[in-house]
Amino acid sequence: MTSVNSKFNASNLTVLGIETSCDETAAAVVQGPVQKAILSNTIRSQIDEHTEFGGVVPEIAARAHIEILDRIVSEAMHEADCTWDDIDAVAATAGPGLIGGVIVGFMTAKAIAMAAGKPLVGVNHLEGHALTARLTDDLEFPFLLLLVSGGHSQFLLVRGVGDYERLGTTIDDAIGEAFDKTAKLLGLPYPGGPHVEKLATRGDVNRFRLPRPLLDRPGLDMSFAGLKTALRTQAKKLEPVDEQTVADLCVAFQRSVSDVLAARTKSALALFAERHPDAEPAIVVAGGVAANQEIRSALTAAAAEANARFVAPPMALCTDNAAMIAWAGIERLQLGPVDDMKLSPRPRWPLDQDKAGILGAGKKGAKV
């Protein structure tokens, strides 16, 4: 670690962020913390490359990042009307994620930082999500975060930059993963979440009753693999299924997920009130699943019932993006030290590193 100039502790900073942890290639330029501004936020999705495979193929994702990242960085710098003299530091996702993609983005950031003579900040992708609401909504610590995406489903207590406690997580499939697998099971295109949500609007919510896993148990952990299995069992009983049956199964699945998240959110807010009785209760939702309107409505209602503030950053900042990485870099720079060139990208990197991974660990580190 090296020390940064004291100016980083007080002045406004301009940071280039790079994000390549999955199938979005992204770069952004963000200013803060005094005058907060997203000067650019360029994202290129790889959906077309992965659709025929029904999911993200790591090797294809990494190759696509290599092919386009330089241009995405150039576009972000041009849109922000910045030169390298205007940039104070470079921040990039160093994990967790698909390691091939993480390597592409982080090594590019290292090269830029070295060539331009700028500090490097290796950002935990999950921390980017965790801190976004401080950029968009001026949220104060502490607060709750519900991260719901294709790879993660977690309740986190966010006490400060680098100070996180995982309160609950999925013990199997992440919510976004469960949506995608359900869609594939029902013959719907990838990515599955939007297609399940669209068909659910035409479904009969009273036709099928699917389980609400783990709600009969204390704690904040969740499970969605059994819910997916229950849907598959129901579908096989009715084969061949018609379009209306598919819609009815979609709405039943979506309602079950919404009910589980709402119930766990109420419990999380109650725990937050016990831990921090003097703090204003707030829950932030981030991740691609936050785009689902029924889930968002259920979470909004749960927060209202608990007299808590509900915060959902704009959708462009809920899904994977580089603005959140640049902002996390700014937050990190305020603490003083920054990373040196010895920092390595990693596929696993839990925010709450003192807590054993719920799914175990291995040579690559604790699973999140």
What's domain 142-312's architecture?
Answer: 2-Layer Sandwich (3.30)
The Cα 14–Cα 184 span in angstroms is 42
**How far is CA 245 from each of CA 185, 228, 230, rounded to the nearest angstrom?**
13, 16, 15
- Fold classified for 2-133+317-366: Nucleotidyltransferase; domain 5 (3.30.420)
Q: Where are the domains of the chain?
A: 2-133+317-366, 142-312
Domains 2-133+317-366 and 142-312 share a fold: yes
Q: Which residues pair with 170 in a beta bridge?
A: 222
What per-residue confidence (pLDDT) applies to 8? 62
130: nearest Cα among 113, 115, 116, 147: 147
Angle between helices 58-79 and 99-116 (to 10 degrees): 30
Of the chain, the end-to-end C-alpha distance in Å amounts to 25
- Listing DSSP states for 11-63 in one string gives S-EEEEEEE-SSSEEEEEEEEESSS-EEEEEEEEE-HHHHGGGTS--HHHHHH
What per-residue confidence (pLDDT) applies to 362? 45
The residue assigned the tokens 């035409």 is 202
User: Alpha helix locations (H) across the chain?
Assistant: 47-50, 58-79, 99-116, 125-136, 175-185, 192-200, 225-237, 243-275, 293-305, 315-318, 323-333
99: nearest Cα among 69, 137, 59, 126: 59
What string of pLDDT tens digits covers the 368 residues of the chain? Answer: 444 444 565 579 999 999 999 889 999 999 999 999 999 999 998 877 877 777 788 888 889 899 999 999 999 999 999 999 999 999 999 999 999 999 999 999 999 999 999 999 999 999 999 999 999 999 999 999 999 987 889 999 999 999 999 999 999 999 999 999 999 999 999 889 999 999 999 999 999 999 999 999 999 999 999 999 999 999 999 999 999 999 999 999 999 999 999 999 999 999 999 999 999 999 999 988 888 999 999 999 999 999 999 999 998 898 899 999 999 999 999 987 677 788 899 998 888 866 545 444 444 444 55
Instruction: Give this prediction's pTM.
Output: 0.90
What per-residue confidence (pLDDT) applies to 363? 47
What per-residue confidence (pLDDT) applies to 149? 84
Exposure on the CB side of residue 130, measured as CA atoms within 13 A: 31
What per-residue confidence (pLDDT) applies to 9? 58
Contact 274, 302 (CB under 8 A): no
